[in-house]
Structure 1
Amino acid sequence: CHHKHLCCSSPYVPQSHLRYTPHPAYATFCRPKENWWQYTQGRRYASTPQKFYLTPPQVNSILKANEYSFKVPEFDGKNVSSVLGFDSNQLPANAPIEDRRSAATCLQTRGMLLGVFDGHAGCACSQAVSERLFYYIAVSLLPHETLLEIENAVESGRALLPILQWHKHPNDYFSKEASKLYFNSLRTYWQELIDLNTGESADIDVKEALINAFKRLDNDISLEAQVGDPNSFLNYLVLRVAFSGATACVAHVDGVDLHVANTGDSRAMLGVQEEDGSWSAVTLSNDHNAQNERELERLKLEHPKNEAKSVVKQDRLLGLLMPFRAFGDVKFKWSIDLQKRVIESGPDQLNDNEYTKFIPPNYYTPPYLTAEPEVTYHRLRPQDKFLVLATDGLWETMHRQDVVRIVGEYL
């Protein structure tokens, strides 16, 4: 196979997924001035904007701060994977940055996982999903006997089989405080998978595994927030994760088999080199937003006819949320009674937050939002050279053909 290089990029430009903003908005303007870049940033309520001048090397330093490249190691001079490596980058639009990226090799099954996660209303949900989703996918792909082996190791206190080998930028991190909670939820999931499977050997459906992993993680995020935690820090963390949100676009590459699972409006684009050497872009995901007629129809069918005009207003879910599928965002999933009960019994920081107390308008028949992904399959061909995964910020500022051409020329 010649389709050996996979490019995973996650740039982000200023674009709020949520119309409702409880804090002052910021406006950013960038313009070239002679050999300098003029950077102007002013708060909505500031009387005069502040101006900073950046040299080209300083601009390059900002652009390169989150760059990360990984090359898959060869064995005996041969590359055992259909992926040669990947490059990724993030460009902050918020402080702290709200998007995340993840890459890992599956150790107990074949294949590599790569994903981008675009957060909104904070970074808590995108951080949690970037840490946890690949474990849920890996567990969903494991055969029954391996799940039993892992469970027996936990029971007897023996060392666990490693499931994933992570490939992370030094700035990427895991939440140590929540690791035990996350592990216990994951263990409950694999215990249920063991009980569901009688031990009969059967081929695992990758599409089904991806869908189950996405839905189960979102369910666990919701449940953890409802149950709470005696530890005040953890209790506030699980609530912040649940009340913020994140979209996810994940690729699973195993030999010539490429699956893309997408929830939200990030996008996967395949770079194809034609016989004449030119580049063409093949879209491997669908945006879940108001520009997708099938998504609009799905939403309307899931709610009463008298909500047809209110379920999507001004191209946003209930007039507020741009993506129609996302993790977290329990404000669009829980009943009003459940939201009030959790907020009232939660910490003061949650109760004092105007966003968490805000009930969306025309909120009659929740849930309005789902984390269920749409899964696309593509059998890789020699002319398929690379895959680009990116949040909506890239696709809103660059045409897909330009993205593929630029990456193709870089490679």
Structure 2
Amino acid sequence: MRRGVNIAIFSGLVLGISYYAMTNNTLRLESSNGSNMSTISNPFSSTTTSKTPGDQHFFSTTATSSLSNGGSATQQNKQGIPVFTDKEVDKRLRKYEESYIVNRGKGVARYDISQLPSNNPIEDDRAEKLVQVPIQDVFSNNEKVDADWHFWSVFDGHAGWNTSAYLRDHLIDYVITELNSVYKVSEKNLRLIPSNEVIDKAIKQGFVKLDDEIVNKNVQKLLDSPNKNTAAELLMPALSGSCALMSFYDTHNKVLKVAVTGDSRALLGSLNEENNQWTVEALSIDQTGSNPTEVAKLLSEHPNEPNVVRNGRILGSLEPSRAFGDARYKWAKEMQAKVYNQFFGRQSPANLKTPPYVTAEPIITTHEISPTKNDFMVMASDGLYEMLSNEEIVGLVVKWMENKKMIKPKRGIFSSVWTSSKDKQLPEVTDISDKAGKPKQRYRRADNMAGYLLEDENVATHLIRNALSNGGKKDDVNLLVSIPSPLSRRYRDDLTVTVVFFDDRENPSSSSNSLEINKEATFGGLDENMNSKL
């Protein structure tokens, strides 16, 4: 990712490329019942539609070249890059935004989601689910308590979209199945809460079992009964790969668990009431070949293989040390040869000796949430962290909250007389992440943000817009959004962002006990029938 892109860069780029197709992501809310749980599910489905350019203007150049006779001529049949108008840029930034009001008074008030493709089709994906669970509360005379289980997930695919789409459709359900087995049913037909260690093990089992299905079981089915018609469907989720970030929040005990496989990241923004200062804490640690703990783990598992991690990459090639799919780093050479000879695939990685090198088993962290203290969580694929620091991300959310009057802005003693210059800057945010595991900052701007943009009703879209703005520059946003795929991948990654606001209070303007679409922050408003009640 490159920062500070300006007109001079684009004036030198000429290409003969058609407009790119963007993935049209549609959300479905479905209700289902199983065991003694009820579910509100919004899996993320994808179709591809052609995009028709709106009103545009162009940056173009006249290029000359020396001909064989020593002369020069104007190059013909080359188009400049169209730079979209503010209206078209806004439409593209908002195309995949969704927002939901969780009016249940149990600790989650709202969550916003937004995506911006760079690859075509987008390789990112996401899914969310809300499950109502009757809990037997051992601290309240074993009485029944209706708890909500919230799941939010972000999937960052690589080498294709197939693995991330498979995770979108299956991962949360796999985890719920494992949790269902460890939350034992009491004589009162209520769920008993197990220990943290048991819950963590169940989540890990869900991840590992799904990856085994992708990489081994589905492919073995294909080898046992070869069928060219189903080869792509069964093989591509194994041959491509995806990182996975999933958060699980239990409203009964206010515990948030974050499971990460790969290098997507979750952050917690909080207000320290003692000094009235905002803090950010990384809830996950990037699992890559640059993580010393991961490197040590791989070296111990593969002794006498000095190239197991080279230049921060597994076998010198794959950056995430944990991922779904990526069978090239999990299958033995014989298995790879068998699959590739019968169907298709890529050559085995150099230095492949003792696979598997990559695992889908997540690292899980546990955190207590304070819904009454303005806690919020940001989850995003690594494309966001290539452009913004942890502190900037939380600062941008705080500014947005102030603008929407969700919180009162901090004012200086003379603020009633004139506007402080600090009002044009992001608030000071302190990173309190564990220093031993503090994620390496990946943003590429040398200085702090000089400004910001406040244009969006959806806070996830707000973060994406500001990530592209290079410190509040609207022209930079327009330029970066206008670059078509695949050229755009040189300047920005796919971007997927989810922001969750924790709050115990109910919204008096909303129907009680419901999950409702927030139309103001959802592109197109979605259908009124998609609102659901538990």
Which structure has more helix as a fraction of its residues? 1
1:213 alignment partner, one of 195, 206, 218: 206
Inter-CA distance 83–311: structure 2 relative to 1 (3 Å threshold): same
Q: Distance in 1 between matches of 2:400 and 2:119?
A: 28
Is 1:121 aligned with 2:120? no
Partner SS, residue 357 of structure 1:
coil
Question: What amino acid does structure 1 have at the position aligned with 2:101?
Answer: K
Alignment match, 1:224: 218
For residues 240 and 314 of structure 2, the distance between their equivalents in structure 1, rounded to whole angstroms, comes to 15
Could you report, residue by residue, the CA deviation over 1:138-163 in whole angstroms, capped at 9, with x for unpaired residues? Answer: 1011147999xxxxxxxxxxxxxxxx
The amino acid of 1:265's aligned partner reads: D
State how many pairs are aligned: 314
Answering whether residue 111 of structure 2 is matched by residue 86 of structure 1, we say yes
Deviations 1:173-221 (A, max 9, x none): xxxxxxxxxxxxxxxxxxxxxxxxxxx9783622111111000000011
Deviation at 1:230, TM superposition (A): 6.2
Aligned partner of 1:203 in structure 2 is 194
Indicate the residue corresponding to 2:267 in structure 1.
269
| 1:410 Cα deviation from its structure 2 partner | 1.4
Contact 2:178 2:202 in 1 (8 A): yes
Q: Give % identity.
A: 33
Instruction: Give the 3 Å change call, closer, same or farther, for CA 145–231 of structure 1 in structure 2.
Output: farther
- Mapped pair 1:135 → 2:173: yes
- Match for residue 240 of structure 2? 244
Aligned partner letter, 2:156: D
Aligned residue type for 1:215: V
Query: Structure 2 counterpart of 1:257, which letter?
Result: V
2:96 to 35, 52, 66: 66
> Please, which of 343, 353, 358 is the counterpart of residue 364 of structure 1?
353
User: Structure 1 273/320 Cα, relative in aligned 2: closer, same or farther at 3 Å?
Assistant: same
Higher mean alpha-carbon deviation, 126-135 vs 282-291, is at 282-291
Change (3 A) 1:280 1:330: same
Give, in angstroms, the shift of residue 274 of structure 1: 2.2
Cα distance change on mapping 1:49 and 1:323 into 2, 3 Å: farther
Distance 1:366 1:43 in 2: 43
Aligned pairs for 1:50-199 within 5 A: 50-74=80-104, 79=105, 81-108=106-133, 110-143=148-181
The answer (yes or no) to whether the contact 2:184–2:192 under 8 Å persists in 1 is: no
Alignment of 1:225-374 (within 5 A): 225-228=219-222, 232-255=228-251, 256-275=254-273, 276-304=275-303, 306-308=304-306, 310-346=307-343, 350=344, 356-374=345-363
- 1:59 deviates by 1.1
What are the ranges of 5 or more consecutive residues in structure 2 without an aligned counterpart? 18-74, 135-147, 186-190, 402-534
- Give the residue type in structure 1 aligned to 2:379: L
Q: Which moved more, 1:319-328 or 1:218-227?
A: 218-227
Q: Name 2:375's counterpart in structure 1.
A: 385
Q: Structure 1, residues 97-118: CA drift from partner, whole Å, max 9, x if none?
A: 0000111112457410001000
Q: Which moved more, 1:277-286 or 1:235-244?
A: 277-286
| Paired AA for residue 377 in structure 2 | L
Higher gyration radius (CA): 2
Post-superposition Cα deviations, 1:330-376, rounded to whole Å, max 9, x if no partner, equal 00000011011112222xxx2xxxxx222101001100100000000
- Conserved 8 A contact 1:39-1:54: no
Counterpart CA distance in 2 for 1:60 and 1:97 is 19
Output the TM-score relative to the length of structure 2: 0.55
Q: Whole-Å Cα distance in 2 between the matches of residues 82 and 398 of structure 1?
A: 28
Q: Which residue matches 2:38?
A: none
The answer to whether the Cα contact below 8 Å between 2:133 and 2:149 also exists between their aligned partners in 1 is no
Relative to 1, partners in 2 of residues 1:41 and 1:72: Cα closer, same or farther, differing over 3 Å? farther
Q: CA deviation at 1:378?
A: 0.4
Does the C-alpha gap of structure 1 residues 123 and 384 become closer, same or farther in structure 2, counting only changes over 3 Å?
same
Q: Secondary structure of the residue that 1:106 maps to in structure 2?
A: strand
**Scaled by the length of structure 1, what TM-score is found?**
0.70
Q: 1:152 corresponds to which residue?
A: none
Separation in 2 of the partners of 1:360 and 1:97?
Answer: 25
Are the structure 2 counterparts of residues 146 and 32 from structure 1 closer, same or farther at C-alpha, using a change threshold of 3 Å? farther
Post-superposition Cα deviations, 1:208-254, rounded to whole Å, max 9, x if no partner, equal: 11111000000011120222166644332110010000000100011
1:401 to 382, 391, 411: 391
